[in-house]
Amino acid sequence: MAIAVQPQMPRVWRLETKPHKFCPGCGHGIVLKALGEAIDALGIQERTIFGCDIGCSLLSWDFFNLDTVQTHHGRTTPVLVGIKRARPELVVVSYMGDGGAYAIGAQHLVSSAARNDLVTIIVVNNTVYAMTGGQMAPTTLPGQKTETTPYGRDAGLTGRPILGPELVAAIAPPGAYVARGSIANIVQLKNFIQKGLQNQVEGRGIAFIEALSSCPTNWHTNAAATWRFVEEEMTAYFPIGEFRTPDEKPSGRLREVPPRGL
Amino acid sequence: MATRPITGEERAFMTGNEVVAWAALAAGADIMYGYPITPQNEIMHYWTRMAPKYGRGFLQTEDEISAGFATVGGVLAGKRAFTATAGPGNVLMQEAMAMAEMMRLPTVVVVTQRGGPSTATVIYSQQELNLTCFGGNGEGLRIVYSPSSHDELFLYTIKAFNSAWKYRFPTFVLGDGYQSKMREPVTIFDPETRGITMEPCRPMVGLPGLPGEEREPAHLRNTYNLEEELYEVLMKAIKAYDSVAPQVMEWDVYAVDDAELLIIAHGVVSRAARAAVAVLRERGYKAGYFRPITLRPFPAEPLRPLAGRARHILVVESAYGQLKRQVQAGLYGISTPVTGYLRPGMGITLEEIVEFVHEKELI
Ligand SMILES: Cc1ncc(C[n+]2csc(CCOP(=O)(O)OP(=O)(O)O)c2C)c(N)n1
Ligand code: SF4
Over residues B128-182, the pLDDT tens digits come to: 999 999 999 999 999 999 999 999 999 999 999 999 999 999 999 999 999 999 9
The answer to which of B21-30, B209-218, B260-269 has the lowest mean pLDDT is: B209-218
CA-based nearest residue to A184, from A222, A244, A257, A234 = A234
Cα–Cα distances (Å) from B130 to A118, B97, B133, in that order, read 39, 14, 5
Domains of chain B plus CATH, in order, are 9-194 (3.40.50.970), 252-360 (3.40.50.920)
Q: Which one of A127, A135, A139, A218 makes the best mutation probe of the B interface by having the most chain B beta carbons within 10 Å?
A: A135
On whether residue A185 sits in a domain, the answer given is: yes
Q: What pLDDT score does A262 carry?
A: 46
Over residues A231-252, the pLDDT tens digits come to: 999 999 999 999 999 987 655 4
Distance CA B360, CA B362 (A): 5
Please spell the DSSP secondary structure of B169-231, one letter per residue. Answer: S-EEEEEEHHHHH-EEEEEEE-GGGGTPPPPPP--SSS-SS-BTTTB------S--SSHHHHH
Q: What pLDDT score does A249 carry?
A: 61
Distance CA A185, CA A156 (A): 32
Strands B251-254 and A67-70 come out as unpaired
Q: Provide, rounded to the nearest whole percent, the portion of chain B with pLDDT above 70.
A: 100
CA-based nearest residue to B156, from B183, B128, B179 = B179
Task: Band the pLDDT of B1: cuts 50, 70, 90.
Answer: confident
Q: How far is A181 from chain B (nearest CA, A)?
A: 24
On whether residue A259 sits in a domain, the answer given is: no
Higher pLDDT, A251 or B3: B3
Strand B81-85: give its sheet, edge to edge: B57-60, B31-34, B81-85, B108-113, B171-176, B143-145, B294-296
pTM of the model: 0.92
Over residues A14-40, the pLDDT tens digits come to: 999 999 999 999 999 999 999 999 999
Distance CA A35, CA A56 (A): 16
Q: How many C-beta neighbours within 10 Å does residue B213 have? A: 8
- Whether the pLDDT of residue A60 is over 80: the answer is yes
On whether residue A255 sits in a domain, the answer given is: no
On whether residue A197 sits in a domain, the answer given is: yes
Q: What pLDDT score does B193 carry?
A: 95
Q: How far is CA B162 from the centre of its chain?
A: 13
* Mean pLDDT value across residues B85-89: 98
Distance CA B245, CA B141 (A): 10
* Mean pLDDT value across residues B4-23: 96
- Whether the pLDDT of residue A253 is over 70: the answer is no
Distance CA A32, CA A10 (A): 9
Q: What pLDDT score does B2 carry?
A: 76
Q: What pLDDT score does B15 carry?
A: 98
On whether residue A250 sits in a domain, the answer given is: no
Name the residue among B48, B59, B60 with its Cβ closest to that of A150. Answer: B48
Distance CA B177, CA B126 (A): 9
Kindly state if the Cβ of A215 falls inside 6 Å of ligand 2: yes
- Whether the pLDDT of residue B330 is over 90: the answer is yes
**Is the CB of residue B103 less than 8 Å from the CB of residue B236?**
no
Residue span of the structural domain in which A187 resides: 19-244
CATH number at residue A139: 3.40.50.970
Q: Which long-range contacts (CB under 8 A, 24 or more apart) does A82-88 make?
A: A83/A49, A83/A51, A84/A117, A84/A118, A84/A119, A88/A118
The residue type at A154: D
CB-count exposure of residue A259 (10 Å: 0-12, 13-18, 19+): exposed
Q: By three-state DSSP, how is residue A146 classified? A: strand
Q: What is the ipTM of this complex?
A: 0.85
Which stretches within chain B are classed as H helix? 16-26, 41-50, 64-76, 87-102, 129-134, 150-167, 177-181, 227-248, 269-282, 300-309, 322-330, 350-359
Q: What pLDDT score does B274 carry?
A: 98
**Is the CB of residue A206 less than 8 Å from the CB of residue A172?**
yes
On whether residue A169 sits in a domain, the answer given is: yes
Q: How far is CA A17 from the centre of its chain?
A: 21
As a whole number, the mean pLDDT across chain B is 97
**Residue whose CA is at the smallest distance from ligand 2 atom 2:** A215
Q: Provide, rounded to the nearest whole percent, the portion of chain A with pLDDT above 70.
A: 93
Cα–Cα distances (Å) from B321 to B141, B227, B316, in that order, read 21, 35, 9
Q: Which residues of A touch B88 (CB under 8 A)?
A: 72-73
Q: How far is A74 from chain B (nearest CA, A)?
A: 9
Q: Which residues of A touch B59 (CB under 8 A)?
A: 157-158
**Residue whose CA is at the smallest distance from ligand 2 atom 1:** A130
Domain count, chain A: 1
On whether residue A253 sits in a domain, the answer given is: no
**Residues A147, B44: C-beta atoms closer than 8 Å:** yes
The answer to whether the Cα torsion of B303, B309, B314, B320 is positive or negative is: positive
The residue type at A178: V
Q: What pLDDT score does A251 carry?
A: 54
Per DSSP, A249 falls in state: P
Q: What pLDDT score does A180 carry?
A: 98
Q: What pLDDT score does A8 carry?
A: 85
Phi, psi at A58, each rounded to 5°: -65, -25
Q: How far is B39 from chain A (nearest CA, A)?
A: 9
Over residues B273-323, the pLDDT tens digits come to: 999 999 999 999 999 999 999 999 999 999 999 999 999 999 999 999 999
Q: By three-state DSSP, how is residue A140 classified? A: coil
Nearest CA in chain A to B120: A72
Q: By three-state DSSP, how is residue B51 classified? A: helix
Name the residue among A72, A149, A151 with its Cβ closest to that of B119. Answer: A72
On whether residue A11 sits in a domain, the answer given is: no
Distance CA B278, CA B292 (A): 19
Distance CA B209, CA B192 (A): 33
Give me the numbers of helices (H) and strands (E) for chain A, helices first please: 10, 9
